[in-house]
Amino acid sequence: MKDKISQELYDLVMLRDHNRCQLCAKKLHIEVHHIVQKSLGGKNILENLIVLCYTCHREVGNSLSKKEELLEMAKNNIKKMNSSWLFGHSPKPKRD
C-alpha cells in the first residue's frame, strides 16, 4: 500500500509555499512534490515536500544540487511560516 501525503499535510505545504511554484512562482499546474523521492528514502514530512509546477518538477529531475537547493528553500519557508504564525497569526488572548 502506498503511503500517500495526507490532505492536512498537503494543505499545509500549499499554505507554507503560498500556492506557488517555489522555483518560478507560477500558480497554475502546481502540485506538492517530494524533494527526496520516496524510493530513495524520502518521507512525507513538511521538510521534504515543496510546491512545484509541472515544468519545474521535470527540470529538477535527478539533479542533486537542485534537490539540495529545494531542501534549503523548504527549510527557509518553514522558518518564515513559523514566524508568521507566531507573530502575525497568533490567536488573541481571551479576556475575563
Any domain includes 40: yes
Number of domains making up the chain: 1
Any domain includes 31: yes
Give the tens place of pLDDT for each residue, 4-27: 999 999 999 999 999 999 988 999
Q: What is the pTM of this model?
A: 0.72
CA–CA distance, 39 with 15 (Å, rounded to integer) = 26
Q: What CATH code is carried by the domain that includes residue 72?
A: 1.10.30
Answer for the pair 46, 9: CB distance below 8 angstroms, yes or no.
yes
CA–CA distance, 74 with 91 (Å, rounded to integer) = 25
Any domain includes 92: no
Any domain includes 59: yes
State which residues form the domain around 37.
7-87
Any domain includes 96: no
Any domain includes 14: yes
Give the tens place of pLDDT for each residue, 65-83: 777 888 787 777 777 776 6
Any domain includes 82: yes
